[in-house]
Amino acid sequence: MAEILIGQVMNVIDGQHFYMRVTHLGKNNRRKYNPEERIKIEKLAAPDQSISDKVLSKAELEIILQGHGVKCAIQTRDRYGCLTANVMLM
């Protein structure tokens, strides 16, 4: 089962990456996470939009993520410290 991070989007880097402020951790998480994490989107789920398979620009991702909390199901952490995750808007 994937570990869960919940928080607020702080800054969109490009069409695939953003920084989040971690406000809650999944109760079954075993790994340590930083108060702020860089996330690479593997899949994106938004309740009111069909965007899971689209390639997005930075501007498009900013519009989608602006003002939303996110729930991230963590897949991996790369050698640069970036987390790959399935992201759901809250």
- The per-residue DSSP string of 9-22 comes to EEEE-SSSEEEEEE
CA pair distance 82, 37, nearest whole angstrom = 7
Going by C-alpha positions, the residue among 75, 85, 69 that lies closest to residue 6 is 69
Low-confidence ranges of the chain (pLDDT < 50): none
Going by C-alpha positions, the residue among 5, 46, 63, 49 that lies closest to residue 29 is 5
Q: What is the pLDDT of residue 76?
A: 96
Instruction: Give the tokens for residue 59.
Output: 């501007």
Q: What is the pLDDT of residue 66?
A: 83
What pTM was estimated for this model as a whole?
0.91
SS3 2: coil
Q: What is the pLDDT of residue 54?
A: 66
